[in-house]
Amino acid sequence: MAHNDGTICRFENAMKVLRRVRRRRTLLVVMALAAIVSATQVSGKLLRDEAAAGPPPTRIDVVVDEVTPGVKIADPYRWLEDQESAETRAWIEAQNKYTDSLLKPLPGREALQKEFTGLLKVTAFSLPRERGGRYFFTMRLPEQDQAVLYYRPGVNGANQVLVDPGEGGDHTTTVNLLSITPDGKLIAYALRHGGKDEVAPHLMDVDSRKLLPDAFPEARYFGFSLLPDKSGVYYAKEVKERNRVFFHKMGSDTAQDAELFGADIPANKILSARVSEDGRYLLINVAQFGPGNPSEIYVKNLAANGAILPITKDLGASFAGDFMGDRLFVSTNWKAPRGRILEIDLKNPGQENWKEIVPEGPAVMEGLAVSGGKLAVLSVENVIEQLKIYEAGGKLLRTIPLPAIGSIGGPTSRAGSDELFYTFDSFHIPPTIYRYNTATGKQEIWAQSKVPMDSSAFEVRQVWYNSKDGTRVPMFLAYRKGIQLDGSNPTLLTGYGGFDLSELPVYRAESAAWIANGGIYALANLRGGSEFGEEWHRAGMMEKKQNVFDDFIAAAEWLVKNKYTRPERLAIRGTSNGGLLVGVALTQRPDLFGAVVCGFPLLDMVRYQKFLVARWWVPEYGSSANGEQFKFIYAYSPYHHVQQGTKYPAVLLVTGDADTRVAPLHARKMTALLQAASASGKPILLHYDTHAGHSGGVPVSKQVDDLTDEFGFLYWQLGVSPPISIGK
């Protein structure tokens, strides 16, 4: 696994050496790697001399690690892991200038920018939360860069501003509502700067708009819940890479908050804390990524000042609960891979007293909300979402009809009210928020984004294809009606395939723009997600992770075989775990794609667990520190399978300084490696934002610019003409 000035000696080659020679094997491998690195330094220099307009040069400084006994790996770009060094900062600046020099002058940029402006600069809402007859939500007006926190006194009251995060002129700060007291008079909200995961919570008296003096430090919080009587707040926070649950007494110094729980919880588990609506109970959830996404529920009877007691523990399954008085309704995959709902009487919480309310069925349960003594259950069957209302005893009352194939957001509700809110959207349908009455079944539109796009001109369909091992995999396609299957359509394929998360048709400006301009937008429902329950998840994680990549590659092959597109007109795009996905597809099948956008990615899978919060993901991916896991991790690690002289498609890697979730070093190192290795002559570019993070925080005006860059790059590489009007 030697890296050179743009190449890697694949582990398979190193293993051949190891098999041939039993003695002095480490010395031979390192010598072989050093020779390859030296040779590529020369070839890389010649390439740069011959192509003065090419990417800026990247220094090689080989570091050799013994990752597993007897196997040493050379990394020539380790120095790029130091994000704050002057040399790295200069390299980032040079890369951004190079990227801008190619993307900014592209023809059609002005039209594309205008299109994304029309799609993004519209009024956008969040789901409202009602407390004491007051409705709290965020709304962003067309001329605003970030959403503002509002409340509305009554359903038909006038909107009133509570927090405008852009007031101080910083358009990268966002606001998130954390908690509201039942009377709607005290709120907790968080400010997030630049898209990083760490936030700073604040407390506000709603009537006076005054902040309470309680000052909480910026950190990763997982649950922040006010007591109904306003005497304090329970929250979970990361402290020295471990989660803890704390209690803060109102008016006291937050530095002296009492630690209640978490001292014995391993660092790879995430804690959250939530107080019941009536203030009688505290629920603590201890969650972990991995098989079954195992979680545990602990409950403290606050009314009786009881001890923190385990309700579900050591069962190796996920549990998520919602209160209804002294009962806890729990959605779980325990003994039910597709999920079921149990009722737990908190006065008699022993497992022998648990009741099954909604049994496992063909649909996969994805969410549960208690509303007015009823249960709102979100599920997905054959990757089509459903929202059903049940009586507390388990009787199905009704299924809420949906207007098309799409996605449901939420729902939000509370135990003491029949009022429930949810969103519906799809690739071609912007979000609509519905206000639904769980007692009567009546609903009305609460808010709707008005986008200059004729949704009736497009269609969404679901297709199925065979993966490499014969597994049937579904995929959504969105395009203009009447499309011709002649193999010439520009097609954008995306996916995720991990962490038990399902991928469904949702509205995004980029997908809307793509299909409006005659492209096909494809979303493959890969193994590793939750589309078919826990078995589907397990089939795409750890030693079976290659299944995810096989599913994705098979989706691309199906699109080509069925004449939707051809490789030079096919692009792939993914972020985070999806960035890993497209990184693997890029290295395993470079011949299959014309362009790649790889955002906020994991790419050096041999070292990923060493950075930021990646320790949480070891149960999902494994760790190279484990000799057996190293074998299957290395087998697909994109950074370690770039081959010198390969004709790679055009690649745009996207990341930012404020990503405190996936270390930006992955994109930096991969950029340097691909730039030196690729023999196609196609651009390998880095779009590096010195302010943005993993998600959120990017002003709308900056989103317009970023999407213009990304899709200008894709249009350029796929030979797509400048965009037409989205309204036609």
Pick the residue with more confidence: 473 or 240?
473
Q: How far apart are CA 203 and CA 475, in angstroms?
A: 44
Helix, strand, or coil here: 369?
A: strand
Helix, strand, or coil here: 92?
A: helix
What six digits make up the tokens of 723?
């965009």
Handedness of CA 602, 14, 542, 595 (dihedral sign): positive
DSSP symbols for 228-260 = TTSSEEEEEEEETTEEEEEEEETTS-GGGPEEE
- Summarize the confidence of residues 557-581 as an average pLDDT: 98
Whole-angstrom CA distances from 710 to 129, 524, 573, 714 are: 35, 21, 10, 6
Q: How confident is the model at residue 724 (pLDDT cuts 50, 70, 90)?
A: low
Can you give the pTM of this predicted structure? Answer: 0.89
- Summarize the confidence of residues 187-199 as an average pLDDT: 89
Q: For 67-101, b where at least 16 C-beta lie within 10 A, e where not — what string?
A: bbeebbbbbbbbbbbeeeeeebeebbeebbebbee
pLDDT for position 349: 96
* pLDDT tens digit sequence for 204-215: 999 999 999 999
- Summarize the confidence of residues 384-391 as an average pLDDT: 97
pLDDT for position 647: 98
Q: How confident is the model at residue 70 (pLDDT cuts 50, 70, 90)?
A: confident
Counting every residue written for the chain, the total comes to: 728
The lowest-confidence range among 196-200, 410-414, 446-450, 611-615 is 196-200
Q: How far apart are CA 688 and CA 666, in angstroms?
A: 12
pLDDT for position 432: 97
Q: How confident is the model at residue 29 (pLDDT cuts 50, 70, 90)?
A: very low
- Summarize the confidence of residues 451-458 as an average pLDDT: 91
- Summarize the confidence of residues 621-648 as an average pLDDT: 97
- Say if CB 384 and CB 406 are below 8 A apart: no
- pLDDT reading at 727 higher than 70: no
pLDDT for position 459: 94
DSSP symbols for 581-613 = HHHHHHHH-GGG-SEEEEES----TTTGGGSTT
Q: How far apart are CA 677 and CA 645, in angstroms?
A: 6
* pLDDT tens digit sequence for 170-180: 788 999 999 99
The residue assigned the tokens 């020679």 is 21
| Backbone angles phi and psi of 545, in degrees to 5 | -60, -30
pLDDT for position 49: 35
- pLDDT reading at 146 higher than 70: yes
- Residue 687 CA to chain centroid, in angstroms? 19
pLDDT for position 196: 80
Residues involved in catalysis = 576, 694
Q: How confident is the model at residue 5 (pLDDT cuts 50, 70, 90)?
A: very low
Q: Which residues contact 168 (CB under 8 A, 6 or more apart)?
A: none
Mean pLDDT of all residues in the chain? 90
Q: Kindly give the pairing relationship between strand 570-575 and strand 491-494.
A: parallel
Q: How far apart are CA 608 and CA 584, in angstroms?
A: 15
490 preceded by cis ω (within 30°)?
Answer: no
pLDDT for position 693: 61
- Say if CB 554 and CB 569 are below 8 A apart: no
- pLDDT reading at 318 higher than 90: yes
* pLDDT tens digit sequence for 490-532: 999 999 999 999 999 999 999 999 999 999 999 999 999 999 9
What six digits make up the tokens of 330?
């729990």
